[in-house]
Amino acid sequence: MIKIENLTKNYGNHKVLKGVNAKVNEGEVYGFIGHNGAGKSTTMNILAGLIGFEKGRCIINQKSIQDRNNRANSDVGYLPEDPKFYPYMNAFEYLDFIGLMKGDSKKQIREKSEKMLDMVKLSKAAKRAIGGYSRGMKQRLGIAVAMYNDPKLLLLDEPSSALDPEGRIDVIEIISKLKSQGKTIFLSTHILNDIERVCDRVGILHNGQIVLEENIHQLMKRYIQPVYDIEFNEVVDEKQTKILNEADYIEKVNFDGKKANIWIKDFEENSPKLLKLISDINTPIISINLRKNSLEEIFLKVVK
């Protein structure tokens, strides 16, 4: 669906994209992640045909962006990070405005509008002025607008940014529903929990290039490094701390009062050694929990 080859973009002397290569398969949700300022929105704007680029190729659904001279493409729906609306309009009026620009009949506009607003759970608020909508409602309306032409590809730039937990859940549920309908979704976000919940593959943008692109389940498996979270009955003394820090199979130990987080090498081989060592230091344990790396921890490890 999307093929990006050696994409380069400069703003004056500042090189934002330095040869980006990425591939998004049809029907998948692709998580596009990176630090703020890494160039995610720039890439999204290029894919949406809103800005040009210096070098490289971008192909969407077998159509080159350069061949379209950056004109709008009906194959693509785009939700910018901060969508803007006419605040005095209601949702029906705004979608009516979109439909008239496209040249749809009144009947087509009504049918499409009702379908889109139902999909994003805005039917009951459809006749309220958009200026009174919450941030989450505006994001959902933005998705309805992006989906109005029933595009094959949906570009979502930080769709859950600045939303409360309930708003984020609403957006993720909509993305999951669109995925089940076979839509291809290119999702840019810095909220890595959202990536874990809904994406099939992930690309990490760092220093103007994709430094990793992989199936998210394979990525989690490859970078998995279990962590033992242990709470002792009392603060571990200096001698006991030294014993833990000097064990060659322990990669890192963080202490916070009576709590310790312990990362080990080769989980299967060294877990029994760690448990024996903890019993040998002779400090009563209140609880011990094994957890796995989050995508956030993997992201930080990759970019470092």
pLDDT class of 69 with cuts at 50, 70, 90? low
Per-residue pLDDT of 229-280, as tens digits, reads 889 888 878 888 888 888 888 888 888 888 888 888 877 788 888 888 888 8
State whether 8 and 132 are in the same domain.
yes
State whether 149 and 72 are in the same domain.
yes
State whether 145 and 183 are in the same domain.
yes
The whole domain housing 268 covers 223-303
Beta bridge partner(s), residue 9: 17
Per-residue pLDDT of 149-186, as tens digits, reads 999 999 999 898 778 888 889 999 999 999 999 999 99
pLDDT class of 16 with cuts at 50, 70, 90? very high
State whether 298 and 186 are in the same domain.
no
301 vs 61, residue with greater confidence: 61
Q: What is the pLDDT of residue 224?
A: 67
Q: What is the pLDDT of residue 70?
A: 47
Long-range contacts of 190-193 (CB under 8 A, 24+ apart): 190/33, 190/34, 190/35, 190/36, 190/158, 190/161, 191/160, 191/161, 192/33, 192/294, 192/295, 192/296, 192/299, 193/294, 193/295, 193/296
State whether 48 and 134 are in the same domain.
yes
State whether 249 and 157 are in the same domain.
no
Q: What is the CATH number of the domain that holds 135?
A: 3.40.50.300
Q: What is the CATH number of the domain that holds 286?
A: 3.30.70.980
Instruction: Count structural domains, the chain.
Output: 2
